[in-house]
Structure 1
Amino acid sequence: MSIPASINPPPRLLMGPGPITADPRVLRAMSAQLVGQYDPWMTDTMNEVMGLYRQVYITDNQQTLLVDGTSRAGIEAALVSLLEPGDRVLVPIFGRFGHLLAEICRRAGADVHTIETEWGQVFTEEALEAALVDVQPKVLAVVHGDTSTTVAQPLEGLGELCERHGALLYVDCTATLGGNEFRTDEWGIDVATSGLQKCLGGPSGSAPVTFSPRAVEVIESRKSIEEGIRAEGDPVSAHPIRSNYLDMAQIFDYWSERRLNHHTEATTMLYGSRECARILLQEGLAQSWARHDLHGRAMLAGTTALGLEPFGALAYRMTNVVGVHIPDGVNGDEVRAAMLEDFGIEIGTSFGPLHGKVWRIGTMGYNARTDAVLQTLAALEAVLRRAGHRAAAGAGVDAAYDLYGTAV
């Protein structure tokens, strides 16, 4: 058997809906040497990471930490730990990732109720309250920004609605944290989960999560440890959490000063997660939100100037992903392939009812910058012209330049 060459990926500018090109500083941090998981330096670093992500989430939640795994591991850990078999959960679906939340809740044995709206639209507060009254769920599980549709569900007021109707509010902010305004405590969010590979500018593989005291109490009430090592007096639920690896009660103990062994911490991902948060906070949350908004608007202006019709309700557009209709007569997959092969730039297609109809172009994390936007627009124009779609030469880049010139 021949031995393959060492890893040498081709140069790529990842301008799709994620993952994105990782910040070189994050990759450098991840090259640091390992230490033991109970080394004092390691446990101090874990505590430091908790403090950094409290600032990122804008929360005082003690239980703000990392789940070792992709963003989906964080989602599943939260939902399987919150929900017991038979618990009612309400999932508003406005894109692919609402369907994912519903699937995970069903696998947890929950009684799942959904409401749906057209992809590209969001729910009114009145519609959500009517559903809460009708379903009376234990948990309202909602996606903040659904990259499949490029729109974001407004969250302000939902925490108050949930408190009024006795529900916990869970939010999947995988695609928005760091690039769109997100205020955990102020908005009354009980649980939020995210990932590094979008606006946080890192690789997939670690899921920053945060849990309110109310959510922690629900999870702790389900604590169940093997009989031989159960601490005297620990409560045991009739419905223990259905996962060992994703059991948040045990993960809380692992990240606490007790350091109860649960798994071996993914040290390299811890380093990367720390650097993602450090870079973001060094820039400033408000500044990062504004940067994502600026470059997202520049991409929208440029694609519009190229004659591409925006997709979705622009009033609710995520700052970090632009959706555009694929022009009639243009093969969307061939355009994406030419962008990748000829220019080394990746843009995204979409899913479900939008497959083959919409491109999704991201401006997030390390790639929310002027040169990345201009390169993408110039390449897209060249490929579109070869595909038979005509636009004024330089129109996309000029529109972006104009927006940058007038931005305040």
Structure 2
Amino acid sequence: MSAGPIDPPARLLMGPGPITVYPRVLQAMSAQLVGQYDPFMTATMTETQALYRDVFATANDATVLVDGTSRAGIEAALVSLVAPGDRVLVPRFGRFGHLLVEIAERCGAEVHTIDVPWGQVFAPEAIEAAIREVRPKVLAIVHGDTSTTLAQPLDELGAICREHDVLFYCDTTASLGGNEFQTDAWGLDAVTAGLQKCLGGPSGAAPITLSPRAVEVVESRKSIEAGIRDADSVVRADRIRSNYFDLGQILDYWGPARLNHHTEATTMLYSARECARILLEEGIDASIARHRLHGDAMLAGLQGLGLVPFGDLAHKMTNVVGVEIPEGVHGDAVRSELLADYGIEIGTSFGPLHGRVWRIGTMGYNARRDTVLVTLAALEAVLRRNGARVPTGGGTEAALDSYRAAA
């Protein structure tokens, strides 16, 4: 087989993620590698930790990267905090709550769930009632679930967890950087994220932060002494059941001792560092406002085309919107034509929403006026070709009206 140079087609990624990467991030990723204990390398790791403390809005020392996609961060958090037999409560309001359940079950947890219909979120009282009944060690919840495009309010849950001595873990992959998130102020013990949504990078590094309380749990499960890792070490029944995702060892690697665990993914380190730099240079509040501005314009434009939004708009994420696929229109055919004719990608959804809604993102580098207007204009043309009756210019005009109103 003869393979030529990599040459991907031009794409405008307007789905729920991954998204078009910031050019500055791509440039950072082209930087030369150094050895894993080179002073430049360890200094860059330390800088990245400090940057992500600001991104997560935390003072946690234990703020690092897990090498792998956002799911690697989720698994590292759960496998390191949850021992076999521990009770875990997962409130599910979309696809990714089910993922938390699967991972926690693989950790040997006794998993309990509560559910709301897709398109709704939980009242804090419902979660507190379940905590009283289940008495879990860990509450595991998603902040923004792109499958439903909704964000679960978290600001009251930390106090509830503290009152009942529950560890509070959250997956904020889809929301961090584009929606308000306060690790310390909201009382979170463990938070994981990914780069490929509002942070505007590629998938492949998972920022994570742990409170001192969470670190104490991780440290208590170490099955070996003083970083000595050999076959004669005592094996404890509750030891962390993964080597790669053992946060105790990962923290040792990122900490002052720099104990070898793996070879850091240098290019992804550069990428994560630049994602954080871009966000913090803009300012987190400014980034949230930008995501809200363009998310509101996209929503208005879709409504201007006569499309019906999905879910409770009072809890919609700033960076992605779901709309019902019009009756008589083949959703996947529209998506295929958008991609083939315009180079624009939008998303379908999962489970009960597959084939029922489209998910359209405005996040990271693509949270811009031009991308919103181009996507709406292209979608209008494709909808008309597929038999939908849509107002001429209805999408772009409604979006422009939204921008004018916000000015």
TM-score interval for Structure 1 and Structure 2 normalised by the shorter chain: over 0.9
Within the alignment, does 1:121 sit opposite 2:124 as a pair?
A: no
Is residue 331 from structure 1 mapped to residue 330 from structure 2 by the alignment? yes
1:283 paired with 2:282, answer yes
Contact 1:178/1:280 (8 A) holds in 2: yes
Aligned AA (2:32): Q
CA distance in structure 2 between the aligned counterparts of 1:192 and 1:258, rounded to whole angstroms: 24
Letter in 2 for 1:263: H
In structure 2, C-alpha distance between the alignment counterparts of 1:238 and 1:109, rounded to whole Å: 12
Q: CA deviation at 1:113?
A: 0.1
2:201 is matched with: 202
2:156 — aligned with what?
A: 157
> Could you say which residue in structure 2 is the equivalent of 1:112?
111
2:144–2:172 Cα contact (<8 Å) kept: yes
CA 335–48 in structure 1, closer or farther in 2 if over 3 Å, else same? same
Deviation per CA, 1:153-176, whole angstroms, max 9, x where unpaired? 000010000000110000000000
Cα deviations across residues 387-407 of structure 1 (Å, max 9, x unaligned)? 111122111000111111110
Aligned to 1:37: 36
Partner of 2:49: 50
Matches within 5 A, 1:320-399: 320-399=319-398
Structure 1 residue 225, shift from structure 2 partner: 3.4
Please tell me whether the aligned partners of residues 221 and 236 of structure 1 are also in contact (alpha carbons under 8 angstroms): no
Instruction: Indicate the percent of aligned positions where both proteins have the same amino acid.
Output: 70
In structure 1, C-alpha distance between the alignment counterparts of 2:373 and 2:23, rounded to whole Å: 20
- Tell me what 1:10 maps to: 9
TM superposition shift of 1:235: 9.7
RMSD: 1.4
CA displacement at 1:3 relative to structure 2: 1.4
**For 1:91, what is the secondary structure of its paired residue?**
strand
The whole-number CA distance in structure 2 between the counterparts of 1:310 and 1:268 is: 39
3-state SS of the aligned residue for 2:140?
Answer: strand
Q: Secondary structure at the match of 2:64?
A: strand
Letter in 1 for 2:238: H
Name the residue aligned to 1:238. Answer: 237
Amino acid at match of 1:357: R
Deviations 1:87-117 (A, max 9, x none): 0000000100000000000000000000011
1:340 CA drift (Å): 0.2
Q: Aligned partners of 1:88, 1:378: CA distance in 2, in Å?
A: 50
Does the 8 Å contact 2:227/2:259 carry over to 1? no
CA distance in 1, matches of 2:191, 2:288: 18
2:224–2:234 Cα contact (<8 Å) kept: no
For 1:256 and 1:227, locate their aligned partners in 2 and report how far apart those are by CA, in whole Å.
13
Report if the CA contact (8 A) 1:253-1:260 is conserved. Answer: yes
Structure 2 CA distance, aligned partners of 1:239 and 1:333?
A: 46
Match of 1:68 in 2: 67
Distance 2:236 2:252 in 1: 17
- Aligned equivalent of 2:257: 258
2:143 maps to what in 1? 144
Give the TM-score taking structure 1 as reference length.
0.98
Amino acid at match of 2:111: V
C-alpha distance in structure 2 between counterparts of 1:230 and 1:202, whole Å? 34
- How many angstroms apart in 2 are the aligned matches of 1:103 and 1:133? 23
* Greater shift in the superposed pair: 236-245 or 278-287: 236-245
| Deviation sequence 1:64-94 (CA, Å, 0-9, x none) | 0100000000000000000000000000001
Paired with 2:392 and 2:248, the residues of 1 have a C-alpha distance of: 58
- In the other structure, the counterpart of 2:316 is 317
Cα gap change, 1:180 to 1:241, in 2 (>3 Å) = same
The offset of 1:5, in angstroms, is: 1.0
* Residue deviations 1:340-395 (CA, integer Å, cap 9, x gap): 00000000000000010000000000000000100100000000011111122111
Counterpart code for 1:334: A
CA distance in 1, matches of 2:137, 2:225: 27
Task: State how far apart, in whole Å, the 2-side matches of 1:240 and 1:44 are.
Answer: 31
In structure 2, relative to structure 1, the CA distance for the partners of 1:267 and 1:306 (3 Å cut) is same
2: CA distance between counterparts of 1:57 and 1:166? 22
Deviation at 1:49, TM superposition (A): 0.2
CA contact (8 A) 1:122 1:151 kept: yes
Which residue does the alignment assign to 1:292?
291
Q: C-alpha separation between the residues in 1 aligned to 2:16 and 2:211?
A: 29
Q: What's the counterpart of residue 271 of structure 2?
A: 272
Distance between the aligned counterparts of 2:222 and 2:31, measured in 1?
35
Per the TM alignment, residue 236 of structure 1 is displaced from its structure 2 partner at its CA by 7.1
Separation of aligned partners in 2, 1:162 and 1:224 = 28
Please tell me whether the aligned partners of residues 306 and 391 of structure 2 are also in contact (alpha carbons under 8 angstroms).
no
Note if contact 1:168-1:190 (Cα within 8 Å) is conserved in structure 2. yes
Question: Match of 2:88, SS?
Answer: strand
In structure 1, stretches of 5+ residues that fail to align are none
